[in-house]
Amino acid sequence: MRVSEHRLVQARFSSSPHYDDRPTDEISLIVVHGISLPPGKFGGDDVEDLFLGRLDTSNPELADLIGVRVSSHLFIRRSGEIIQFVDFDKRAWHAGESVFLGRSACNDFSIGVELEGTDTTEYENVQYLQLVSVCRTLISEYSILNVRGHCDISPGRKTDPGSTFEWHRLEEALGSGLLRCE
């Protein structure tokens, strides 16, 4: 994989309006998330629509997302397809209230990668392969020092990517230094 002008060449770009400028040039953290909409349903367009600000919230299962403005840099579907919503040098709105190593507002200095899934469903093998490749590419392009789950930076509030996410696969591919538990 390759990054050109802060976009992953291998991803389909779908421009989200939910971003702004980073307050710093630092991009040192990758945050791994899990998401599916409606929760537990895979393969539809609702996650992309949410990030694009055009989600049809008339579905009662999605009613709590009315007015929610969020995004992520990348979304890795269960098929392995990768969609990018925000340029890496811009701040995507994926982490919300968060703290990492004593620093709050992790969106400022992180790249958000969403996996299509739930906390309790095994992720697909191809998603791990793509995620490893994405991480390697971002590590070589930016000054990434750590890879963590949303659960790690928003404990008590977020649980994704969930207990089914196999961190050892990332650790084996990337080395333990990036994934060391604090």
Of 92, 150, 165, 178, which one interacts with Zn ion (CB under 5 A)? 150
Candidate list 48, 116, 152, 160; residue touching Zn ion; CB under 5 A? 160
Strands (E), 10-77: 12-13, 19-21, 29-35, 74-76
As a whole number of angstroms, the distance between CA 12 and CA 10 comes to 7
Closest CB to Zn ion among residues 77, 150: 150
**Token pair listed for 11:** 């991803």
Q: Cis ω on the peptide bond leading into residue 161 (within 30° of 0)?
A: yes
| First-to-last C-alpha distance (Å) of the chain | 30
Q: Does the annotation mark 114 as catalytic?
A: yes
Q: Which residue among 26, 61, 114, 166 is the active-site one? A: 114
Interacting span for Zn ion (CB under 5 A) from 1-9, 12-20, 25-33, 50-58? 25-33
Among 18, 33, 77, 148, binds Zn ion (CB under 5 A): 33
State the nearest-atom distance from the C-beta of 9 to Zn ion, in Å: 25
Q: Is 152 in the site for Zn ion (CB under 5 A)?
A: no
Query: Angle 125-141/167-174 helices, nearest 10 degrees?
Result: 40
Does the footprint of Zn ion cover residue 148 (CB under 5 A)? no
| Residue 166 tokens, joined | 């196999």
Enumerate the active-site residues: 114
Catalog residues that contact Zn ion under the rule CB under 5 A.
33, 150, 160
